[in-house]
Structure 1
Amino acid sequence: MKYNAFLAIIFILCTAAFCDGPPSLSPQPTISYNNITYYDTGFTKNLSLVLNFEDGDGDLGLSPVDVGVPYQPYDLVFENGEPVMYGDRPGDPDFNCVDYEIVPEGNEVDTFLVNRNKYHNNIYIDFFVKRNGVWEEYDLRTTDPFLCADTYDGRFPILNLDENDKALKGELRYNMYSAAIFSVFRNDTVKVQAQIVDRQLHESNIIETPEFTFQQITVTEVPDENDGQ
């Protein structure tokens, strides 16, 4: 079983202004930073990242059934026609949450060597912490190799529900609900990098937030979903 140590992404709210847009918009999505806020109402604790986006053909978003190629979560590693399990071969990596997947089999579990597929998700989030003046990436998966926490990478749903291609421009609000994230970065100076990818696997540019502390971006009231969109 994979434990979500920091309750990674459990909800996404996407809002978009749909438009016909100029024909010169590239089919490769582009994004820019809009805002980041930490909402702490006592009941809701939510780090909310807002991105501006443009996409020339509007093929943004994944549905829950998009789990086959090319959106599968991982590929098993095979040798001689059999999937490789943890401990099968000398020289394979020690157990960690990136190279291995724990799969329930009845009342037992098996641990398989896998190749992760980044395109199972369509938004990628990386945290960086400034320590002694140097930025260090904070990766939940490698913090404790036996905890198997998820990253904050995730999925947003399909934005263009029409069958025809059309340009999209708007704002995407990506909510990361977590009761522990404030504790993890309580007094740290942090910045976030983000990137999105469309259904044809065109990757956007990578944006970076300004550096911040959670005290600086915390508010105690959550706005209506349409506020600021």
Structure 2
Amino acid sequence: MNCKNALVSAGVGLLGMVACVTPPTNFPSVPEIEFNSLEFVETPGQDSLIVSVDFRDAEGDLGLNATEIQPPFQELTFRRDQGGNLITFRNRPANAPPFNPIDWRINPIVNNQEVRDTIWVEPNPNHNNIFVRFFIKRNGVFQEFRWEDPPFFTSFNGRFPRILAGNNTQAVEGTIAYAMVSSGWNNIFRNDTIRVEVRIQDRQLNSSAWVSSPEVTLQGIRRR
């Protein structure tokens, strides 16, 4: 068995991956994942919530390198008016959202040139290949905790790197450990009961099913 290890920076978090290349044994073309673990790690300044999933895939077309930013993996789509012009905050239509760091970008690079203005954008979900949803228990019922909403305007979706080099295809299985870094886990969730859901996506844009962690508290999953 030929195993590979990778540790890369992934925006809001770090991502560790162990992938083992194996002969095809009826692995699925659409990636399959199973929940493995959820762990809370406290460090000075920043803490990490680490979710791990086990995966299987027939082609091994999992992962995106940092340089893969061309369609369909670009980070943003720049909104334009009927004349094909970029929509600025100053000339925004009535249906445009208020300023926030998700829907607007200041001085973005468009077609390899910096645009000195605030431009209306639409984040491209296919820029990422690992997706995480959070749920918090209130009055005995889980409700989604949306990081994209005010006041946070963020996301813990991200990327993991290519498992196989180049365009090689081969059945793979292994474990992805995705660390979401924040200084606010304790402040936000305190003693709340939470759970997370995770899915991954291959380069053909095939998505796995969502898998869920059990319900936990930060204290209950703290690394000792």
Q: What TM-score, normalized by structure 1, do the two folds share? A: 0.83
The one-letter code sitting in structure 2 at the alignment partner of 1:9 is V
Amino acid of the structure 1 residue aligned with 2:138: R
Give the alignment's Cα RMSD to 1 decimal.
2.2
Q: 1:20-71 CA distances to partner (integer Å, 9 max, x unpaired)?
A: 231x222110101011111225476221111010011000000010111110
Q: Kindly provide the amino acid, as one letter, of the partner of residue 81 in structure 1.
A: G
Q: Which moved more, 1:173-182 or 1:59-68?
A: 173-182
Note if 1:32 corresponds to 2:34.
yes
2:189 pairs with one of 181, 185, 188: 185
Q: AA paired with 2:222?
A: T
The aligned amino acid for 1:160 is L
Q: Which stretch of structure 1 is more off in the superposition, 154-163 or 168-177? A: 154-163
The corresponding residue for 1:14 is: 17
Match of 2:149 in 1: 142
1:166 aligns with 2:180: no
Which protein, 1 or 2, shows the higher relative CO under an 8 Å CA cutoff with sep ≥ 6? 1
Contact persistence 1:59–1:199 (CA under 8 A):
yes
In the alignment, residue 31 of structure 1 is paired with which amino acid?
Answer: I
Whether the 8 Å CA contact 1:130–1:190 is kept in 2: the answer is yes
Kindly provide the amino acid, as one letter, of the partner of residue 208 in structure 1: S
- The CA distance in 1 between the partners of 2:61 and 2:22, in whole Å, is 13
Could you say what secondary structure the match of 2:149 adopts?
Answer: helix
The 1:102–1:135 alpha-carbon spacing in structure 2 relative to 1, beyond 3 Å, is farther
Cα deviation 1:140-180 (Å, max 9, x = unaligned): 22131xx64x3110000111126431011111111112222
Query: Secondary structure in 2 aligned to 1:140?
Result: coil
Does the CA-based 8 Å contact 1:96-1:142 persist in structure 2?
no
User: Partners of 2:94 and 2:37 in 1: how far apart?
Assistant: 48
State the one-letter code of the partner of 2:129.
Answer: N
Aligned residues: 208
Q: Which residue of 2 aligns with 1:53?
A: 55
Write the deviation string for residues 73-110 of structure 1: whole angstroms up to 9, x where unpaired: 111111112111124222322333433233369xx963
Taking every aligned residue pair, what percent have the same amino acid on both sides?
31
Q: Where does structure 1 differ by over 4 angstroms across 4 or more consecutive aligned residues? A: 41-44
Where does structure 1 lack aligned partners over 5 or more consecutive residues? 1-6, 221-229
Q: Aligned equivalents of 2:185 and 2:64: distance in 1?
A: 26
Structure 1 stretch displaced more, 176-185 or 187-196:
176-185
Mapped to 2, the partners of 1:78 and 1:138 lie a distance apart of: 31
Normalization by structure 2: what TM-score?
Answer: 0.85
5+ residue gaps, structure 2, are 1-9, 110-114
1:216 positional shift: 0.4
* Amino acid aligned to 1:38: F
